[in-house]
């Protein structure tokens, strides 16, 4: 019950206040079963409402692959958000609000959400930050899988926006709200919930967030809120859902390869940087908006945003049905290995952890190429399976379910 309420930011201060950071539960990892349950529920409701499922296998695997990739650094290191926050708290705090006061709890809710609004908005308005954040917008579907589509690089810039709170808000309170703010944003990535009445004035809702994910001209750079929509209303970035939203990037990446989705925008900035004349213009390529060019305003020209006709066709290479089934089965194995790694990381050697992470990354890249029906995908997949058998036989991999051992080798 507690974990379910955490997903909706519905755990009151009395149940979610802790003296030390070490006592704060890992709400995100404990929510994985609920993510799966809600995804199943979304499929059922979508089928009842529209007689169709809310997504595609290739896009769903791509989103989940990006979600797993984004969490892999946390297996090796403590979150940079917390490390930097605790450092500022220990060395520079001005005063200390009581950790067990409801007022501290509600102030932190507002503080974390406002910091998220600022970071999120800048991520859309500064090209180098957008190169990381665009990963989350790269899906042309909009469903609960999309919520899990996260960038590996984004967390290495977002931490700065939380540091002012470290001058007076205890790290244990911050650590709770950092997770709640993230968890709340999971359930708003759906089309099966339409409008939520008066709540639309205060909370970020599925309707508001659909606009944020749209590539229609009226949707661009709108509705940055995390939990609350009040910041958008205050700062003039709010837009209500109107014409049917077409999802994805204004210039689609057209790939399911999680490595390519992370790196291609950085390669684009690199090439544009060297192709643009003048030192100041080169800096502008990095620090102005993704739509900027010499002679244009900071965020580019609105009239250059591609027109939406409503006939846009998502990137969807034709793949034989057996290949989809194959990718699904093997992806399930990787999810099993990943969750087993999370459960046992504290008792594994550094070498074993790195080996497992390397194999997971290799597998996710291979599935991406399979979903695109690339010619080299077969060779990479054969190599991947041989590596798996060798490493499994040597005992470096282990399933959470002992009865699957023989099945994996088959």
pLDDT tens digit sequence for 183-233: 999 999 999 999 999 999 999 999 999 999 999 999 999 999 999 999 999
Q: Which pLDDT score, from 0 to 100, does residue 262 have?
A: 94
- Domain assignment present for residue 144? The answer is yes
DSSP 168: T
* Cβ atoms of 4 and 35 closer than 8 Å: no
Q: Which pLDDT score, from 0 to 100, does residue 40 have?
A: 94
What is the torsion angle, in degrees rounded to the nearest 10, for the CA atoms of residue 63, residue 69, residue 70 and residue 71? 120
Q: Which pLDDT score, from 0 to 100, does residue 120 have?
A: 98
Q: What average pLDDT does this structure show over 25-49?
A: 92
Q: Do 325 and 190 sit in the same domain of this protein?
A: no
Q: Which pLDDT score, from 0 to 100, does residue 375 have?
A: 86
Q: Which residue has the tokens 């969807």?
A: 316
d(CA 208, CA 231): 13
Helices 80-92, 171-187: axis angle to 10 degrees equals 150
Q: What does residue 344 show for φ and ψ, rounded to 5 degrees?
A: -115, 10
- Domain assignment present for residue 89? The answer is yes
Is the pLDDT assigned to residue 93 strictly greater than 90?
yes
- Domain assignment present for residue 382? The answer is yes
Q: What average pLDDT does this structure show over 155-170?
A: 96
Domain final residue pick, 235, 265, 285: 235
For residue 260, which of 100, 62, 49 has the smallest C-alpha distance? 62
Domain final residue pick, 184, 210, 235: 235
DSSP 245: P
Is the pLDDT assigned to residue 399 strictly greater than 80?
no
What 3-state class would DSSP assign to 185? helix
- Domain assignment present for residue 250? The answer is no
Residue 132 token pair: 């990381």
For residue 41, which of 54, 23, 50, 31 has the smallest C-alpha distance? 54
For residue 226, which of 162, 314, 300, 297 has the smallest C-alpha distance? 162
Q: Which domain holds residue 397?
A: 321-407
- Domain assignment present for residue 293? The answer is no
Q: Which pLDDT score, from 0 to 100, does residue 403 have?
A: 67
Residues 56-69: b if buried by 16+ CB within 10 A, e if exposed: bbbbbbbbbbbbbb
How many domains in the chain? 2
Q: Do 335 and 206 sit in the same domain of this protein?
A: no
Is the pLDDT assigned to residue 397 strictly greater than 90?
no
Summary mean pLDDT of the chain:
94
Cβ-based neighbour number of residue 379 at 10 Å: 11
pLDDT tens digit sequence for 312-332: 999 999 999 999 999 999 999
- Domain assignment present for residue 141? The answer is yes
Residues 6+ apart with CB under 8 A from 221: 121, 124, 125, 237, 299
pLDDT tens digit sequence for 117-162: 999 999 999 999 999 999 999 999 999 999 999 999 999 999 999 9
Share of the chain above pLDDT 90, in %: 82
- Domain assignment present for residue 62? The answer is yes
Q: How far apart are the first and last CA of the chain?
A: 39
Domain final residue pick, 206, 235, 264: 235
| Total-model pTM | 0.93
- Domain assignment present for residue 303? The answer is no
Q: What average pLDDT does this structure show over 268-294?
A: 96
Q: Do 214 and 118 sit in the same domain of this protein?
A: yes
């Amino acid at each position: 019950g507690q974990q379910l309420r955490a997903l909706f930011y519905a755990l009151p201060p009395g149940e979610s206040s802790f003296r030390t950071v070490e006592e704060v539960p890992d709400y995100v990892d404990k929510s994985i079963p609920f993510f799966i349950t809600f995804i199943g529920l979304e499929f059922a409701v979508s089928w009842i409402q529209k007689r169709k499922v809310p997504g595609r296998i290739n896009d769903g695997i791509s989103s989940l692959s990006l979600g797993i990739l984004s969490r892999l650094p946390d297996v090796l290191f403590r979150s940079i958000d917390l490390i930097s926050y605790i450092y500022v708290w220990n060395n520079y705090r001005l005063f200390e609000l009581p950790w067990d006061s409801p007022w501290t709890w509600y102030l932190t809710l507002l503080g974390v959400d406002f910091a998220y609004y600022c970071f999120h908005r800048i991520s859309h308005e500064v090209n180098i930050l957008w190169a990381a954040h665009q990963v989350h917008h790269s899906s042309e579907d909009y469903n609960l899988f999309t919520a899990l589509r996260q960038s590996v690089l984004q967390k290495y810039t977002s931490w700065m926006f939380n540091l002012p709170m470290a001058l007076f808000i205890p790290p244990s309170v911050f650590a709770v709200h950092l997770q709640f703010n993230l968890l709340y944003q999971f359930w708003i990535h759906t089309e099966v919930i339409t409008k939520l009445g008066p709540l639309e004035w205060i909370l970020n809702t599925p309707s508001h967030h659909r606009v944020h994910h749209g590539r229609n001209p009226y949707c661009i750079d709108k509705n940055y809120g995390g939990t609350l929509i009040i910041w958008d209303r205050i700062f003039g970035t709010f837009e209500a859902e109107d014409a049917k939203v077409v999802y994805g990037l204004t210039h689609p990446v057209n790939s399911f390869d999680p490595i390519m989705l992370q790196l291609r925008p950085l390669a684009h900035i690199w090439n544009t940087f060297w192709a643009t004349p003048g030192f100041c213009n080169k800096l502008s390529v990095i620090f102005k908006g993704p739509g900027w060019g010499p002679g244009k305003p900071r965020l580019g020209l609105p009239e250059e945003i591609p027109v939406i006709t409503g006939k846009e066709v998502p990137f969807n290479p034709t793949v034989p049905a057996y290949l989809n089934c194959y990718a699904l089965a093997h992806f399930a194995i990787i999810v099993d290995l990943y969750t087993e790694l999370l459960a046992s990381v504290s008792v594994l050697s550094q070498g074993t952890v790195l080996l497992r992470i390397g194999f997971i990354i290799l597998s996710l890249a291979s599935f991406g190429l399979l979903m695109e029906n690339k010619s080299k995908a077969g060779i990479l997949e054969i190599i991947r399976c041989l590596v798996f058998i060798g490493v499994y036989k040597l005992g470096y991999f282990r399933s959470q379910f002992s009865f699957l051992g023989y099945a994996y080798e088959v």
